[in-house]
Structure 1
Amino acid sequence: MDLVVGRVVKTHGVRGELVVDVRTDDPQTRFAVGARLIGRAPKSAGSTEYTVTAARNHSGRLLLSLKGVADRTAGDALRGTLFVVDAADVDSGDDPDEFYDHELEGARVVTVDGVDVGVLESILHLPGGDVLAVRAADKREVLVPFVRAMVPTVTPELIEIDPPEGLLDLDAAVSDRD
C-alpha cells in the first residue's frame, strides 16, 4: 500500500518549479535535496521516479524542483501527480494519539455505549477538517467528524464515537426525503 506525501498543484514560474500540496508531517525529510520521489500521474497506471534538486517555502507553500523538469511545459505535465511512499517504510511512532490512515482503516467502530456502528472505510481529509467514513452493517456510509469531542478513543482495532443525537439516526433522514 502506498501513502501519499504530496500532490503537484501547478507550476510556479517558467523554470519548471512545482507548487506541491504537502501531505506529510515530515516535509523536510521527504522533500530534501537528493530525495527520490515516486510520482503517479492522475491518468496513468505506472509510476516515475524523480530526484529533488531544490525545495523551498514560498508564501506558505512548498516549491519543488525536480531533475529533468526544466521548464513550465514539463512542470505542467505533472499537474495532479501524487508523490507516494511505501506504507511499510513508515511508522506512526510511539505517540498513542498519532496514526496513519491505513493503520485505522478496517477498525471496528462502536458508540461509547457499545452499539456497533460499522467498520472504518476511510478518512476523508476535507478543508473543514477530517471526517471518518464508516461503512454501517446495512451498507450505508456514516460520516463522523474526526474531532476529540465525537471520537474520544482511537486504536487500530477499535474506534469509539460519541455522536450527537440524530447523527446515526439514518432512518429518519431517509424517510424525510420520500
Structure 2
Amino acid sequence: MQFYNVAKILTTHGLNGEVKVAVITDFPEERFKPGSVLSIKGDEERVLTVESARTFKQFWLVKFEEITDIDQAEKLRNKILVVSEENRQELPEGVFYYRDILGCTVIDNETGEVIGEITDIQSPGANDVWMVKEKSGQEYWIPYIDDVVKKVDIADKKIYVELIEGLRDED
C-alpha cells in the first residue's frame, strides 16, 4: 500500500496531548478534518484519528483521539504523519495533487506539438501557476486557468494548453 507524507510532528502543545505540526500536504484542511485517519511513517499500522485541529501561526495544532496526555504526545516528536492511498479523499473536479502535475508533458492543444514539461508549481493568489520548461531550456509560468489549461490527463501525464499572447516572452 502507498502512503503519502502529510506533516512532521515538531513538538507537544499543552498537557492534553495536542501536537504542533509542520504541514507537508497540499490540503491541510482535508487532512486534519476531525475523523481523518493518519499513521506514523515507519509504523503505518499505528492509526491516529484526528479529534480536532486548528491553525497556529504557520503551523497546525492537532489533537488525536488516541493521544490523551503530554507523555504520549512526546513520543511522537519528529515523526512524520502519513495518509494511506485509501484514506486520501477524492479531490473535486479540476483539483490535483502537486505530485500528479509535476513532470507532466505540456502539449499545444491546437497543433498536438510537445511544448515542454511542468517543473514547478506556485500558489501566489487566486490561482496556481505552473512552470513550463521547454526542451530549449526556456522557462516561463502559465496560470492554471480555463483560458490556458484546456485539459489535464493525469493517467497519461499530459497537459493540453493554449498559450495566450505574452506568456512565453518571445521577442
> What is the TM-score when the length of structure 1 is the normalising length?
0.58
What corresponds to 2:159 in structure 1?
Answer: 159
**Structure 2 unaligned blocks of 5 or more:** none
Matched, 1:108 2:109: no
What corresponds to 1:83 in structure 2?
Answer: 81
Distance in 1 (alpha carbons) for counterparts of 2:13 and 2:93:
39
Q: What is the CA-CA distance between 1:137 and the residue it aligns to?
A: 0.9
What corresponds to 1:131 in structure 2?
Answer: 129
Q: Does the aligned pair in 2 maintain the 1:106–1:119 contact within 8 Å?
A: yes
Counterparts in 2 of 1:86 and 1:76: CA distance versus 1, 3 Å: closer
Paired positions, count: 158
Q: Does the aligned pair in 1 maintain the 2:117–2:132 contact within 8 Å?
A: yes
Q: Does the aligned pair in 2 maintain the 1:17–1:75 contact within 8 Å?
A: no
Q: Does the aligned pair in 1 maintain the 2:149–2:160 contact within 8 Å?
A: yes
Which structure carries more helix by proportion? 1
Distance in 2 (alpha carbons) for counterparts of 1:147 and 1:9:
36
Distance in 2 (alpha carbons) for counterparts of 1:133 and 1:59:
29
Matched, 1:64 2:31: no
1:27 to 24, 31, 39: 31
What corresponds to 1:147 in structure 2?
Answer: 145
> What is the CA deviation profile of residues 47-91 of structure 1, one whole-angstrom value per residue up to 9, with x for unaligned ones?
4555426521446955234649726x938943xx6533355x477
Q: Percent identity?
A: 21
Counterparts in 2 of 1:145 and 1:84: CA distance versus 1, 3 Å: farther
RMSD: 4.2
Distance in 2 (alpha carbons) for counterparts of 1:138 and 1:132:
18
> What is the TM-score when the length of structure 2 is the normalising length?
0.59
SS in 1 for 2:103: coil
Distance in 1 (alpha carbons) for counterparts of 2:55 and 2:84:
30
**Structure 1 unaligned blocks of 5 or more:** 40-46, 173-178
